[in-house]
Structure 1
Amino acid sequence: MNTILQEKLVKFLKGRDEWKQNGGKNHLVMAHHPNSMLLARKKLSSSMMVLSDFGRYPVEYANIDKDLIAPYKHVVKSINASNSRGFEERPTLVYFRGAIYRKADGIIRQELFYMLKDEKDVYFTFGSAQGGGIRAASKGMASSKFCLNIAGDTPSSNRLFDAIATHCVPVIISDDLELPYEDVLDYSKFSIFVHASDACKKGYLLKLLRGIKKDKWSQMWERLKEIAPHFEYRFPSRHGDAVDMIWQAVSRKVSNVNNKSYRENRYRMSQEFLNVD
């Protein structure tokens, strides 16, 4: 049925005059789940796509020049800024709860698990959404200073947005990750980026994180509280929430795509306007 529906979608869109006008370049396709549109994506690749990452998309189908990244909806309970715990109230230094044995770049989860699981102030364990897992993760992340966001089967993970929702400073270990709104948000002000190769060096990650003092951590924590609303999906949408931020990103992307098209076609368009053969 999935195959049939995607084939029908492609046939419907490509039969529309609106698609034919410019080959679908002014269409927006929501394909946020990494497995979305796996069959139709090549035939719809001229459109702008809203994705979670580019992990399962060849660059000729999807890329940062024409497409945009939207956040996952966080699964843990978000924290009100006024109730957020500060440095001293977060006894756990590093937190990760989730699937550990993954494919592709996600193999690093296994390496880090065996490296960190017995370390002091580190909570690194298997976990799922079942059996109270979300509730446990909400509590654990809200009482931790740093939350690991490690590549899984694809570069992205909802743990980044869970960390933001709980004001737990994200530690991003995913070399090929693209981030939502990065053209207007400086993630370095509220996140820590670590190359996968460095994270796998014995002692490197904990030395880095233990070396971050209260004042620097608090600066990132304050910024997290400021930007967290940008990752909240609300209905009806509010100014500055995830829905609004995505539409703003679409507007910026359309402008860039149009500028590129105008530059590439300026001579042809000029000659057509002047009726020059």
Structure 2
Amino acid sequence: MTNMGRPEYSQGVRQAIQQIHRNQSDFVLGGRFTLDDLRASRFCLCPSGWGWGWRLSLAIVTQCVPVIIQPNVTQPFEDLLEGTPYSYDTFAVRLTKEDIPQLPAILRSIPQHKLCSMQQMLARVYRAFLWQRPHGPTHANAYDLTQILLCRRAKALAASYQRSGKHPMAYLSRHPLECPDTLDKAAIRFD
């Protein structure tokens, strides 16, 4: 058995979904799928199991509303997007492992206007999850957001060095870092 099939690898999420919903007629679980299949879907499950978030990236890029069931996992750029008009709750559904038995009912209860709003937000933010720039330099991509997050970390590290005063690298905090550490400071919008 590979790691992918082991319950501890996915925190038991994938196995619970398969066990409870394998006969659900409007669910596609496992097997082969194409990007067109994802584009034609309203929701795409993004359970734990692939640490690098392949399912989430595919869902976002195909503008299929991600249904994230990943206990204790911070999503890509989540800290950066939180508190902005582009936070995950504007384009994704977040559920817990305990929600798995009610998954079909939960998804069916999402009003059409909310689903449309989430899909519209995905159309605005998906480029930020791509590393290449298929639409030219005018749209922020994953590289740009990673730079902002690295700046944020560097500033936090410099501040901790400065507070300690005794750290061997404290001298690095003498000069302020001149880099944007928020979407606003980087003048990034997803319009």
- Is the CA contact 1:104–1:153 (under 8 Å) kept in the aligned structure 2? no
Distance, in Å, in 1 between the alignment partners of 2:8 and 2:77 is 26
Q: CA deviation at 1:126?
A: 3.0
**For residue 104 of structure 1, what is the aligned residue in structure 2?**
8
**1:194 correspondence with 2:95:** yes
> Normalising to structure 2: TM-score of the pair?
0.74
User: Equivalences for 1:38-187 in 2 at 5 Å?
Assistant: 101-106=5-10, 107-127=12-32, 136-152=33-49, 154=51, 156-185=52-81, 186-187=87-88
Choose 1 or 2 for highest CA Rg: 1
Q: CA deviation at 1:114?
A: 2.4
- Unaligned segments of structure 2, at least 5 residues: 82-86, 171-191
Q: Which amino acid aligns with 2:131?
A: Y
- Is the CA contact 1:100–1:126 (under 8 Å) kept in the aligned structure 2? no
1:152 alignment partner, SS class: coil
- Is the CA contact 1:150–1:174 (under 8 Å) kept in the aligned structure 2? yes
Distance, in Å, in 2 between the alignment partners of 1:153 and 1:184 is 22
- Is the CA contact 2:80–2:149 (under 8 Å) kept in the aligned structure 1? no
CA gap 1:177/1:109 in 2 versus in 1, 3 angstroms: same
Q: CA deviation at 1:161?
A: 0.4
Q: Which amino acid aligns with 1:217?
A: L
**Count of matched residue pairs:** 160
Q: Which amino acid aligns with 1:159?
A: R
- Identity within the alignment, %: 26
CA gap 1:235/1:219 in 2 versus in 1, 3 angstroms: closer
CA gap 1:208/1:100 in 2 versus in 1, 3 angstroms: farther
1:176 alignment partner, SS class: coil
CA gap 1:257/1:230 in 2 versus in 1, 3 angstroms: same
> Normalising to structure 1: TM-score of the pair?
0.52
- Is the CA contact 2:9–2:49 (under 8 Å) kept in the aligned structure 1? yes
- Unaligned segments of structure 1, at least 5 residues: 1-98, 128-135, 270-277
Q: Would you identify which runs of 4 or more consecutive aligned residues in structure 1 move more than 6 Å? A: none
- Is the CA contact 1:103–1:153 (under 8 Å) kept in the aligned structure 2? no
Q: CA RMSD in A?
A: 2.7
CA gap 1:167/1:152 in 2 versus in 1, 3 angstroms: same
Distance, in Å, in 1 between the alignment partners of 2:61 and 2:122 is 8
Q: Which amino acid aligns with 2:118?
A: M
